[in-house]
Amino acid sequence: MGTVVSRAELVEVRQKLRESGKRVIFTNGCFDLLHRGHIEYLTKARALGDVLIVGLNSDGSIQRLKGATRPIISEEDRSVIMAALSVVDYVCVFEEDTPYELIRSVVPDILVKGADWGVDEIVGKDIVEAAGGSIHTIEFLPNRSTTNIIQKIVQGDAPRS
């Protein structure tokens, strides 16, 4: 089980991981309404190194990016849910609209985003590559997204058991 940490705590953790030679993977996102696509994405990200850090958009950040009706799940609850996943080692909420400052604080060895992002568009790429790290993209599982789930619920198209 992972741990929810502050940015300051994460910087200390990162230093210890660096000293012990652990390869740190970083990814970020909203992770609102956790679903299979998220699980498969995080599992593939974790397989790239030793320790997976998830930067989690704050509620305010999500509202600015996705509108006033989001997030569905609060940042406190999303943090606990993410940390409970066996593939996630650390979760850190960030207030900014992008994880750039968090990435600059942590300087991971591997930065991961979904393949819907062009490599040159990935926030923090410059920081990671300047430190000798690498960038990876992971294909999404088709037809699996929080937006799709919300649309199905609103339209009453959710599968019934």
In a domain, 161, yes or no: no
- CA atoms of 66 and 156, how far apart (whole Å): 22
Structure tokens at 145: 């997204």
* Residue 137: predicted pLDDT: 96
Pairing state between β 134-138 and 3-4: unpaired
In a domain, 59, yes or no: yes
In a domain, 57, yes or no: yes
Q: Count of domains in the chain?
A: 1
Higher pLDDT, 140 or 76: 76
Q: CATH number for the domain including 10?
A: 3.40.50.620
- CA atoms of 103 and 131, how far apart (whole Å): 12
Q: Where does the pLDDT of residue 1 fall: very low under 50, low under 70, confident under 90, or very high at 90 and above?
A: confident
For the chain, the residue count is 161
pLDDT digits (tens, 9 = 90+) for 85-132: 999 999 999 999 999 999 999 999 999 998 888 888 999 999 999 999
In a domain, 160, yes or no: no
Provide the residue range defining the domain that includes 81.
3-155
Burial string for 32-58 (b: 16+ CB within 10 Å, else e) reads bbbeebbeebbeebbebbebbbbbbbb
SS3 64: helix
Mean pLDDT of the region 31-41: 91
In a domain, 142, yes or no: yes
What average pLDDT does the structure give for the chain? 91
In a domain, 130, yes or no: yes
Say if residues 2 and 83 touch (Cβ distance below 8 Å).
yes
Q: What are phi and psi of 146, to 5 degrees?
A: -60, -40
